[in-house]
A and B are shown apart, each in its own frame.
Chain A
Amino acid sequence: MKSAVSREASTPLDTTDSLTPTLRRKRKKGVAGYAFVSGYFVLLILFGVLPAAYAIVLAFTASGGHFTGLTNFIKTGEDFRFLPAFENVGKYLLIWLGSLVVIVLGLALMLHSIARRVSAAFRFIFYLPGALAGAASVLVWLFMLDPTVSPWRLFLGVFGFKNLGQTILPGHLPLIFAIIAFWAGAGGWIVVTYGALNNIPNELIEAAQLDGAGAIQTALRIKLPLIKKWIVFMLILAFAAGTQLFVEPQLVGEASLGLISPTWSPNELAYYFAFQDNNFNYAAAISVDLLVIGLLCAAVLVFRTKLFEVE
């Protein structure tokens, strides 16, 4: 494909051609444009559009392949594991997003008010655990939550936890997963928020201070409203990613002696339908549910916040 294009494009510009030079150039550029995006376009179709389309087809058909309408969605929605899974993730999201708003913004504001070099050191330290995202972060926190070895054992003891089984009781999981997400992910958001705060013109802050605003008033009335769109950005991305929870309940479940349901999160439920029940249609239906949530989040960000410049 590429060779054909470069052959076409490498023919010398011939002004005696019946086409005017500008028209010719435009057409050649058009062909070149396709060539430049072709590789990515193929990947987009094969690993973005096609799987989504296939999942939609499966979600609306039965295992025999005939159209069944919304049956799969209704059947999975009525499944006794469906609501608890979404409830679990909902509780987790509430804590995780709440901590993002309160703690991440608080820390970013504090960092923004101290000397730049000191704050750079803090930002790096806060960002560092991001290297342990995923399975590694869960393992680290299994150690942290195990009262027999944890460096926080005194703290865990205050709550009366004597062994790992007591710390990771099912009711504690939303909080635990929020702590893990915060530990591995908050640093990145602190850096982003700090960057946004840095973009506020100094004159604005100085003017507020001249008018007698203290540090807290400046933060709440000037800084936060000015970075509102980044806060929305952070919350939507964290929400979209949070609905996809999989590795955390999977690994903690592994360490829990079967106390924790293997269908704790919606993605785990979809996985369960696909691999335990061999019911790909049900699995596809839940995947489509989750895809729609992700799509809605993306739509809000793209159309409502104008964060992404496309031109």
Chain B
Amino acid sequence: MRLFNRIWSRTFSYIILLAFTAFFVVPVIWLLFAPFKTDHNLVFENPFALGTLGNLFHAAHVMFTFEDYALLNWLKNSAIYSFGGIAIALICSIPAGYGLAHTQFIGRRTLLGVTLFVMIMPATALVLPLFLEANAVHAVGTPLAVILPFSFFPFGVYLAYIFYSSSVPKDLLAAARIDGCNEWDVFRRIALPLARPIIALVTFFAFVANWNNFFLPFVMLPNSSNYPLPIGLQDLLSATPAFNPGQGGQVPIYRPELAIATIVAMAPVMIVFLFAQRSLVSGLLAGATKE
């Protein structure tokens, strides 16, 4: 009876898990298949029918050459904003995490507390205030209006702080000081080389956040030539007759082309995910895994 129960509940678990697998995966598979088909195929054929390479090349050609390679320009913008933000965030947050963990100064605890607060608060809450600020100094429309707010990444400081305070013993640093290192040398020669895993982690989280950010660039960058990919997608959506046959102008952007643009927008994050797979499923919860 007991055994029967266990088998039954296990089967039940797997049925549920497989059902949710379908829920999570089918949209991704559909998206990857869509560019191989024509808009007509998408409507009148089996949703999982295979398309042709010819369709893919046609849709890709239309999408990439659209408005003088706008998609590639958005991709370039996204890369500049994301990595510009990450670079400054790393330069500032790694030393800050180290300083908070291993040096004493007045206001240290306050700074830690404030960091915790701004880290938990959703970044979106500050977007309009940031716009008002940027507007006051006439910075709206410049790439820096996006890159600089991106570079303020308190979560990165917190991750670096946790890393340095839990994984780098004070004695190690004290030993270096006795050997004649000054504070800067201790950081540069001991703490910084140890920080490799935390640099990877901060880069990962900052990249996903920056790449997918919509609201901030949406208010800061009014010109199409400055758009990052997410705003570009919205631009395509408003121009395409794909969802509303009556709406939109004469643009030749239909569902296969839109699917390509969506794939281009998500591909970099997806690639990062695949590379980070192992640490993602096990160690996303830094410090909370059982050792």
Chain A residues within CB distance 8 Å of chain B: 5-6, 9-10, 25-26, 28-37, 39-44, 46-48, 50-52, 54-55, 58, 103, 106-107, 110-111, 113-114, 120, 122-136, 139-144, 146, 148-153, 164, 183, 187-188, 191-192, 195-196, 198-199, 214-216, 237, 240-241, 243-244, 246-247, 250-251, 254-255, 257, 267, 270-271, 274-275, 280, 283-284, 286-287, 290-291, 293-295, 297-299, 301-302, 308-311
Contact = CB atoms under 8 A, between A and B. Distances in A.
A280 B268 CA distance: 36
Nearest to A36: B99
Given A51-B130, A129-B27, A136 B262 contact: yes
- Looking at chain A's contact residues, the main secondary structure is helix
B128 A244 contact: no
Contact of B31 (A51, A140, A280, A310): A140
B155 to A, nearest CB: 11
B184 A241 contact: no
B104 A33 contact: yes
A46 B122 CA distance: 17
A42 B30 CA distance: 46
Given A140-B27, A146-B243, A192-B285, 10 more contacts: A30-B106, A43-B151, A114-B17, A131-B272, A144-B30, A199-B290, A215-B9, A267-B127, A271-B128, A295-B121
Contacts of B266: 131-132, 136
A103 B14 CA distance: 14
10 contacts: A30-B106, A39-B91, A39-B95, A47-B126, A151-B47, A164-B243, A199-B290, A216-B9, A274-B132, A310-B109
Nearest to A301: B120
Contact of A150 (B21, B28, B47, B151): B47
B126 A134 contact: no
Contacts of A136: 212, 230, 233, 262, 265-266
Question: Which 5 residue pairs of A and B lie closest in terms of their CB atoms, listed nearest first?
Answer: A36-B99, A33-B103, A33-B105, A32-B183, A40-B96
Given A33-B105, A58-B132, A125-B24, A195 B125 contact: no
A139 B238 CA distance: 12
B273 A127 contact: yes
B106 A302 contact: no
A198 B30 CA distance: 34
Interface in B220-257: 229-231, 233-234, 237-238, 243-244, 246-247, 255
Given A9-B183, A270-B128, A195 B285 contact: yes
Contacts of A52: 126, 129
B16 interface: yes
Given A44-B152, A46-B148, A135-B230, A51 B95 contact: no
A26 B177 CA distance: 13
Interface in B1-33: 5-6, 9-10, 13-14, 16-17, 20-21, 23-28, 30-31
Given A40-B157, A136-B266, A310-B116, A149 B47 contact: yes
B168 interface: no
Nearest to A11: B182
A183 B23 contact: yes
Contacts of B158: 308
A241 B17 CA distance: 27
A124 B105 CA distance: 42
Contacts of A295: 117, 121
B12 to A, nearest CB: 9
Contacts of A243: 122
A298 B30 contact: no
B109 A46 contact: no
Contacts of B93: 40
Contact of A274 (B131, B277, B281, B289): B131
Given A251-B237, A302-B113, A302-B117, A47 B105 contact: no
Nearest to B280: A127
